[in-house]
Structure 1
Amino acid sequence: MGTKPVRPEDVLPDGAEGAEFDGAYVRKGSVAAFIGNVRALSEVEPSTPQWEEIVGQLRELKPALDRIGVLDVFEIRDPAVRALVGGL
């Protein structure tokens, strides 16, 4: 993105539902969805169908976070969540 300040509309213009990053389309809301699923995971029992569904969604969303660079500047603090999504 260069050396100039980046505004949200520089990344995703009004009315856009997503953008291409590193050759893949990333939907708006991916970061918020990931966070929401991490929070939801703490509310369900491990190994239940609901837990498995949430873990699956986290794994599906993680590449989007990688593509947009979130995980280059922030880390997943919860070691269990980090392990579930294949983080370091």
Structure 2
Amino acid sequence: MRAEELLPDHLNQGEFNGVPVRKGTVGAFLANARIWRDASATEEARATAQRDIIDALPALRALGLFDVLEIRDDELRAFVDAQ
């Protein structure tokens, strides 16, 4: 399946397993995970990334992301699992 088959270009969000998911949610999670893991990131940047990760988890779980992919970073995986 191609991305545009899952969410056509003219749509910015779709509903998956009853949860609205915005286009870019997975990419935003990856960007926030990088910031969250970055020891040189400011406390404010890390807190914002953490908040955004938490907010995205229902959508990511509705997509089944963590059923297929495992977070390799132990600390991040434990954080996500605890939410």
TM-score band by shorter chain is: 0.7 to 0.9
The correspondence for 1:32, drawn from 27, 51, 55, is 27
Q: Which of 64, 68, 75 matches 2:63?
A: 68
The question of whether the paired residues in 2 share the 8 Å contact of 1:38 and 1:58 is answered with yes
CA–CA distance in structure 2, aligned partners of residues 27 and 55 of structure 1: 18
2:44 counterpart residue number: 49
Q: 2: CA distance between counterparts of 1:62 and 1:82?
A: 12
Q: Using the aligned pairs only, state the percent identity.
A: 38
Between structure 1 and structure 2, the one with the greater Rg is 1
* Alignment match of 2:7 (pick from 7, 12, 18): 12
Unaligned runs of 5+ in 2: none
TM normalised by structure 2 equals 0.84
Q: Kindly report the root-mean-square deviation, in angstroms, between the aligned alpha carbons of the 2 structures.
A: 1.5
Higher RCO structure, 1 or 2 (CA under 8 Å, sep 6+): 2
Q: Is the 8 A contact 1:55 1:84 kept in 2?
A: no
- After TM superposition, the score normalised by the length of structure 1 is 0.80
Give the 4+ runs in structure 1 shifted more than 2 A.
Answer: none
